[in-house]
Amino acid sequence: MKLTPKNWVNFQHYKHRSPPWIKLHRNLLDDMHYQRLPVASKALAPMLWLLASESQTGSIDTSTEEIAFRLRMTEKDVLTAIKPLLDMGFFIDDDNVLAECLQDATSETEKRREETKKETETEAPEGVDVSLWNDYLKVRKAAKKPLTDTALKGLIREAEKAKITLSDALQTCCERSWVGFKAEWIEKPITTQDRPNQKWDATLAGIMAKGKELGIEARPGETEGQYRERVRSGRA
């Protein structure tokens, strides 16, 4: 990697390289582009100027690993802080190696983001219809309440307390836009505003009884959610 400070020869004049000091012009205080840099980049710039002063050509011709060691930084921090300096033209990447390193670092960051995204995506629990599960996740997303393992365990626990399946609990959550579920919430009579004349569908047992009354039997391979909807609509 070969990194050269912009206009370096116009501001630094030495008979011999590796001087004990470099010129730092006061007008840097009013340089809008410099002052808008991230703090890490503003701190790194003078350190890079010092490294450049050691070279006969006024440039830094070494690896990011060497720069990181000299400045007692990590390579990741060096790359992150250098990028704004390159973007704003304070340094020039003569051989474009650094740009490739930055691109690789960006690609790696995106890869980690994708991995993290996949890790946070929860598969539908056993016995829960995928479409119902996705609907529930949408409810939580709309409320900006990501589903955690703890929250899911709480749902399962409350469903068991209410003596209904997790699928029933999630169905109720979707219908009422609830992000969570408590057993006592369905122990109270359902108001007519919630579901007129259909108190029987508060539990799976009620659904099954109503299905038997209407002569609607569960179909092979049909999920509980699908059967519940057929009974509610009265479709045999």
Enumerate the domain spans of the chain: 2-118, 130-233
Whether residue 188 contacts residue 222, with contact meaning beta carbons closer than 8 Å, is answered with no
Rg (CA), the chain: 32
Q: Report the C-alpha gap between 60 and 151 in whole angstroms.
A: 53
Q: What is the pLDDT of residue 222?
A: 78
Report pLDDT for 71.
Answer: 92
pLDDT tens-place string over residues 202-228: 677 788 888 888 888 888 877 877 787
3-state helix, strand, coil in the chain (%, to 5): 60, 5, 35
Q: Which pLDDT does position 39 carry in this prediction? A: 93
pLDDT at 235: 67
Please state the φ and ψ torsions of residue 91, each to the nearest 5 degrees.
-135, 155
- pTM value > 0.75: no
Residues of the chain with pLDDT under 70: 9-11, 13-17, 96-122, 187-202, 235-236
With contact defined as beta carbons under 8 Å apart, do 48 and 81 qualify? no
Q: What is the pLDDT of residue 13?
A: 66
Residue 97: HSE in the Cβ half-sphere, 13 Å Cα cutoff = 12
- SS3 state of residue 169: helix
Quick one: tokens of 179?
Answer: 């992000």
Letter for the amino acid at 70? R
- Integer angstrom CA distances of residue 227 from 49, 137, 174: 72, 21, 16
- Cβ atoms of 81 and 88 within 8 Å: the answer is no
Q: Strand (E) positions, the chain? A: 2-5, 60-61, 91-93
Q: What integer pLDDT is reported at residue 37 of this predicted model? A: 92
Going by C-alpha positions, the residue among 81, 13, 96, 87 that lies closest to residue 48 is: 81
